[in-house]
Chain A
Amino acid sequence: MLIEDGSHATMVSVNMLPDLGELYPEGGLVGRLDELRGLKVVIIGFGKMGLLHSTILSLLLQNPPRAIVDKSLTVRLGFSRLFGKKAVFHKNLEDALRDGADLIYVTTPTPSHYPILRTILSREDIRGVFVEKPPTATHIQLKELAGAVGRRAVMVGLQKRYSLPFRHGKILLEEGAVGEIEGVECYIKSGDILEKTSRFDAVGRGVLLDLGIHLVDMLSWLFGDLRVEEAAFKSIYTNVDDHFWLRLSSRDGFEIRAEVTWSDPAFRVPETLIRIRGSRGSLEVTEDYLKITSPQLNKAFYRPHYYQGLPPVLVADPEFTIENMHLLLRLLDGGEPATSLRRSEPGMRIVEEAYSKAEKIG
């Protein structure tokens, strides 16, 4: 298999990937989808992400959501006329829950996550909950909610952790593929906000909470306990942070430099890059590829190596389907989701610490 890599071509072998069962355990759901027939799904907030999850779930389960809740009359009227009578649209959550719900997706704007989750978690009949990232506006709110989860599957939409190159990177780090870690440079960048908007005034926080949470969540997942040493931000198009810089330190003594922005026009779609320097080599990983370099080894794996005939539904990036499959599997088998509320806490703690220490520049 030949992949062009800059000016030269590198031979890479698919059989060097980890076992698929380890890399993609969610594949186990494929033969079990029948067990989920008739699952009552309710989606709260039918914006871009609500529509995305509704589309993935409908294709996976061959069953559109039972009910959709949205405050906007334009959305309710528009989509109910577009879709016909297949899904029932409600203005209020209580109305949607009257007919029962097994699984609820919360894809509303961030400030509303906390009150909605409190309402949902107070009900015993709901088996699973998905909340889009960031789970809450603050770390304190998240801690309170995490205590109310009980044995239910409650998961945060931190979908980067379900991206196979990142999972591969974690496996390699755990195997000590680059030796002792000496330093990390990373970013998450997008060109999502390139004009003035007051959309984020309500939450009072910007790119670090909304987009950077993906990166800091993964840094906690990959490197364990981290501390914020320095933080700075700049406002460009919003009244909050559009560009954020972080310097973090790990318990093992290495330093992480991170950059977060949603206002870089060069990034048509968001990209997350983590570059790890180790005593025996280096590892660079994004949603698209993983490259490992050492004196003995020089390998690159790209999307087409990871996603061959999987996942079973493809809408936007494959990790969105895989995160949905992960939650559905937890619903069937029990167990805590990889991005449960509790497991999202370290990332949210870093966000909180960064905002408290951040200096505004520019």
Chain B
Amino acid sequence: MVEELLLGDNPFIGVSHLAQAKARESVGMGVDSFVKVVTTAWESGATGFTFSTHPTNLEILRGLAGDDRGVLTRLNYYPLVPYGMGYVRASNVTGLPGLGKMILKRSLTKMSSLGWLVKAAIGLNPSILLAMQLAEDLAPFMEVLPRQRVRAVLLHEVLTEVLVAHDAPQIYETLRDYLRSSYGVEVGLETRNIHHLKLFMEKHGLRIPYIMTPMNPLGYQMTPDRERAEKAIRLLGGQSRIIAINILASGALSLEEAIKYILKFDPYGVAVGTSKAWRARENFKRLRDAVTGRS
């Protein structure tokens, strides 16, 4: 049964998998209107918010804190780290070695993580430094969010695909342990290569509590093809909580088409993004009705 109906943040931070021109339009709408989208989504049946650690999302969450109905404390949260484009931009200016050195310097100033730093030094384990950087990215968000409402932190695909491709489960394990000890949260993965993730998990006997992945009847962003992605989703759904994203194939499908398809897989969560309050009202009401069997 679908337990979570999540509002996605893509339109708030200028991401569109349909056309960048659309994303640029929505970014200009401003934080106040995005706060309105979140509150309207909640009024209409959304149970949570999934977002990247982008500064705009922090502003939105701070804006929600001012809502006198307590919306901030009623939603569940699934933050994604790292905000990939932020690091890509930084590496454009400094290069990747420069970025690595910056992360190292920042980590060394975190005396609160002394125990982990010692572990990193003894084991020559840069995964710990990466984990410390992700924790720092999360820190301002964790200050705003009610801690018990943060259901899981998800590693963004820029990290997931690298660790799956390079067969490095130890990176995931280190990040998971560090973030768990820092914030007491579960750590999941977001991927657009679900079949490869399945092979990786099977090979290493890994259990990932939450997996976020595109699911739509067009097979858009489902690899290596729709059939094998579906098979992986069904199989992993038995052990992980699957959160479906890009269910509308970036706007190529109607909500009805998307719902009909998604319900066949019975995912744990479904995420949809919009930059317009009226659409949030319409979409979440229809989604809520569909998952509760009212339509």
Contact = CB atoms under 8 A, between A and B. Distances in A.
Contacts of B229: 309
A78 B126 contact: yes
Interface in A266-297: 266-269, 271, 286, 288-289
A74 B20 contact: no
Interface stretch (B35-43, B74-82, B83-91, B176-184): B83-91
Contacts of B254: 2
A266 B19 contact: no
A310 B225 contact: yes
B196 to A, nearest CB: 5
A84 to B, nearest CB: 6
Contacts of B196: 59, 313
A54 B85 contact: no
A186 B90 CA distance: 27
A59 B93 contact: no
Contacts of A92: none
B93 A197 contact: yes
B252 A3 contact: yes
A194 interface: yes
A98 interface: no
Contacts of A2: 252-254
Nearest to A237: B93
B112 interface: no
A307 B252 CA distance: 12
A58 B166 contact: yes
Interface in A14-70: 30, 46-48, 51, 54-56, 58-59, 64
Contact of B220 (A51, A307, A312, A313): A307
Contacts, number: 164
A185 B165 CA distance: 40
Interface in B209-245: 218-227, 229
A307 B166 CA distance: 25
A122 interface: no
B114 interface: no
Given A2-B254, A268-B14, A308-B218, A302 B226 contact: no
Contacts of B253: 1-2, 304
B250 A81 contact: no
A118 interface: no
B18 A288 contact: yes
Nearest to B192: A314
Interface in B120-172: 124-127, 130, 157, 161-162, 164-168, 170-171
A30 B220 contact: no
Contact of B20 (A48, A58, A286, A309): A286
Interface string A170-212: 0000000000000000000001111101010000000000000
A253 B162 CA distance: 48
Contacts of A247: none
A74 B98 CA distance: 9
A55 B249 contact: no
Nearest to B223: A314
B55 interface: no
Contact of B18 (A30, A82, A304, A314): A304
Given A59-B196, A303-B220, A199 B225 contact: no
Contacts of B24: 266-268
A91 interface: no
Nearest to A75: B97
A3 B218 CA distance: 14
B92 interface: yes
Nearest to A316: B158
B23 interface: yes
Nearest to B224: A312
A26 B225 CA distance: 14
A266 B97 CA distance: 27
A4 interface: yes
Nearest to B222: A309
Nearest to A56: B165
A197 B89 CA distance: 12
A234 B262 CA distance: 50
A72 interface: yes
A46 B254 CA distance: 42
Nearest to A65: B166
B93 A195 contact: yes
Q: Which of B24, B166, B192, B196 has the most CB of A within 10 A?
A: B166
B23 A268 contact: yes
Contacts of A46: 96
11 contacts: A1-B253, A46-B96, A54-B165, A74-B101, A82-B171, A192-B92, A199-B93, A268-B14, A303-B17, A304-B250, A315-B161
Interface of B: 13-21, 23-24, 27, 85, 88-89, 91-97, 100-101, 104, 124-127, 130, 157, 161-162, 164-168, 170-171, 192-193, 196, 218-227, 229, 249-254
